[in-house]
Amino acid sequence: MIRGSCLCGQVRYEITGPLRGALNCHCSMCRKAHGAAFRSRASVKASDFRWTQGAELVTFYESSPGNHRGFCRVCGSPLLSRFDFEPSFYGLPLGALDDDPGIKPKRHVFVA
């Protein structure tokens, strides 16, 4: 099991399945949403993800059509992305994980 949380600790989750497809995304949306030069992320099956605390504190913003970014409304930490085109998977920022994910990003996307 892998656990994750927001900066203030009021939102927590756990993942019971494997993470897949770790990468570093340099697109303008990810840079803005994370306040960084890129976002390190991986995918997880929605069925392998569950909120363990503070689900009511997660707010979603549709950053582009069909892409919903979830963040803690208390501290602003990005927590996951949901996709209308692929509802069975979530995108997770690796920086929000409390435990070693067991994978590392293997590629960079949207690099100029």
Sign of torsion over alpha carbons 13, 19, 25, 29: negative
CA angle 8, 54, 56 (to 5 degrees): 120
The pTM (predicted TM-score) of the whole model is 0.90
* CATH code of the region 2-109: 2.170.150.70
The model's pLDDT over 31-87, given as tens digits with 9 standing for 90+, comes to 988 889 999 999 999 999 999 999 999 999 999 999 999 999 999 999 999 999 999
Asked if 87 contacts 67 with a C-beta cutoff of 8 angstroms, the reply is no
**Section 87-92 average pLDDT:** 96
Strands 108-109 and 20-25 come out as: parallel
**pLDDT grade for 15, boundaries at 50, 70 and 90:** very high
